[in-house]
Structure 1
Amino acid sequence: MFGHMHGRGGRGCGPRGGWDRWAAQAEGRFEGFRHEGRGGGGGRRRMFDGGELRLVLLRMIADEPRHGYELIKAVEELTGGAYAPSPGMVYPALTMLAEMELIAEQPSETARKRFVVTAAGEAHLAEHEEQVAMLMARLAEIGAHRARHDRAPIRRAMRNLRDVVMERVEAGDLSDDAVHEVAALIDGVVQKIERLK
């Protein structure tokens, strides 16, 4: 993955711009660990069609009365932050579920509309039980995928490496031998990472 650093010796300890570019490029690779729901180009691919999203929301409301924002956060939490439906998808879906009399607004003293499932909604879920299970499993799998590829610890370690090396370089107290030793240490870590399974 980082094989481009091989053979550069002390060049890795050059101007800050080189290090910043290297760090940004490397961190960009870890940004590639995205699952369905967030596109690599900054946009989002649609996770569900309208009917599937309504089933997911209905299932979550049947589990616990919720309002729109709580549903968005619940989906996001289930996927480990990899996917969250937009308000522009959730609120029209809730309106349709209410018009279909599958959910009903729960009396509340707050401005937020919290919904509960109706008897018709429970029957609808039972009728589509297999599809609902498949959709919820899809969300859970995305969360598991995100957990397996959590890049936060690696990003933190990369920032620490960059910061400590730049601090020593800018202090100007490293001998030529020490500069080469730092480069050798980094190259050694690179080689170990490349051999990881």
Structure 2
Amino acid sequence: MSTGKSNPLGLVVAGIVVAVAAVFLLAKLVISYNAGQANPDDMTAEAINARVKQVGELDAGEVVAAGAMTGKMVYEQVCFSCHKDGLIGAPKLGDAAAWGPRIAQGFDTLVKHAVEGFNGKMPAKGGNANLTDQEVARAVAYMANSGGAKFTEPKVEGVASGESKASEGAASK
């Protein structure tokens, strides 16, 4: 039974609700505007450099001259991918039974197979064409010696044997 008159209490409540909502929205607008403003403390050179620095950093470790890697270094960077777990029949590092028949073929034959590739399984230079033949020979000596051979690892030219051992230790860190 409506009489056509509006309820004054309802209008007051509606007015208050609208006013509160307007104040709330205005406050959110001001806060969001201020949040986008730069904080002076964040504008120092150190803070800017920290925000724009590269995500990842590469530590190449020891820089080695071309052809100067020791057998251990070549193994750790190339050969381990197959010889660590014996992939495709590769003799594992330190497995005397697997290395025995290969060692019996002689150092020169093992180096030839490693440099040129062998039997469709061993890729030339372990798949890294950037290796020198001397580096491959050093890696062959290192791996075969771990399996019982007594091969002499070819010297790194221009580096005394003590320095070669020091660089070998530094590269494995």
Which bin holds the TM-score, normalised by the shorter protein? Answer: under 0.3
Calculate the TM-score normalised by the size of structure 2.
Answer: 0.21
More helix by share: 1
Q: Greater Rg, structure 1 or structure 2? A: 2
Compare the two structures and name the one with the higher strand fraction: 1
What TM-score does the superposition give when structure 1 sets the normalisation length? 0.19
